Amino acid sequence: MARKIIYKFFIAVLFAVTVKDVTAQHLHFNQPTIEDTVIGNKIYRQFANYLLISYGVGFNFRQHNSEQAGSVFYTFRLKKQPFRVGYSVVSRYFVLSRTLQKINDMVFAVGKRVETPQANFSLFAGLSYSYGTYFFYHEPSMDVDFYRAFKKPGLYLELELTKKIFYDIGIGASLFGTFNNGYAEYFKEVNHFYGAVGMKVNLYFSGAYRGEIGLH
C-alpha cells in the first residue's frame, strides 16, 4: 500500500512539473529571455528540465561484490532550485531480471546544477524509500540460500557530469551512493548500514529547445 502511494506521488510530481515547463515555453515561445541561449537561429532554455537514463556498475559494500546498477531520473526547478525525482536499482544480475539480491530506491533529492552550452554538471542528495532483499545466509545441509526483505528510509547521493553532443542531448558519467539501515532488524552491529556505491554511464535528454527566432 505504501509503495503504491509513493509511486502515485512521483507520477503526480513528474506530471505537474512537466506541464509547468511546457506551459512556460509556450507563453514565451520565440521570445529569448535572460535565461535563454541562442545558437545560430535556435533558442535553448538554460537550466531546462531534463531526463537522465543511466546504467553501470555498483559495489555492494555489505555483500562485498560487484553488481549492476541502473536509474531513471527527472530533474526540474522550482523557484530556481533544482530537484530530482526518480528510481534507482542495484542488482546482482541485470536490473530488469527477477533476482532476490536487489536494492530499489524511489528518490527525491535537492541539489546544485551548473550548465554551459558544452556541458551539464550536477550534485544531488536526498531521501529515498529503499526496499528489496539481500542474501542472509547459506544452509549447507539443504544447499539453500536464504534472503531477507527490507523496507527502509534511505539516503541517495549522485554526482553527474555530462558532455553535450547537442545543446539538449548529451552523454556522460555519474558517481552514486545509496545507503539505508536494512541490516538493523537482523544484526546487532554498531554499523548496520546497507547499500552500494558505484559509477554509471548517462544519456541526457533536455527540454531546452524552444524553437527558432522569427518562426511562429
**Closest alpha carbon to 174 in 163, 187, 190, 188:** 163
The neighbour count for residue 2, using CB atoms within 10 Å, is 9
**pTM, two decimal places:** 0.78
> Following CA atoms 103, 106, 112, 114 in sequence, which dihedral angle do they give, to the nearest 10 degrees?
80
Task: Summarize pLDDT for 14-47 with one digit per residue, the tens.
Answer: 544 444 454 444 444 455 455 678 877 888 888 9
Judge whether residue 5 has pLDDT over 60: no
| CATH number of the domain where residue 177 is located | 2.40.160.20
Summarize the confidence of residues 71-77 as an average pLDDT.
Answer: 95
Q: What is the pLDDT of residue 74?
A: 97
**Range of 158's domain?**
2-212
Question: How many whole angstroms separate alpha carbon 154 and alpha carbon 108?
Answer: 11
Mean pLDDT of the chain: 79
Q: Which of 191, 203, 150, 177 is nearest to 88 (CA)?
A: 177
Q: How far apart are the C-alpha atoms of 213 and 198, rounded to whole Å?
A: 43
| Residue 173: pLDDT over 80 | yes
Number of domains in the chain: 1
* Helix (H), strand (E) counts: the chain: 1, 11
Mean local confidence (pLDDT), 179-208: 76
Query: What pLDDT score was predicted for residue 20?
Result: 46
What was the pLDDT predicted at 38? 80
User: CA–CA separation, 197 vs 191, rounded Å?
Assistant: 17
Q: 23 vs 34, 75, 83, 94, 104, CA distance in Å?
A: 18, 17, 19, 38, 33
What is the Cα Rg of the chain in Å? 20
pLDDT of residue 25: 45
Between 184 and 203, where is the model more confident? 203
**What is the CB neighbour count within 10 angstroms for residue 166?**
13
Residues above pLDDT 90, as percent of the chain: 45
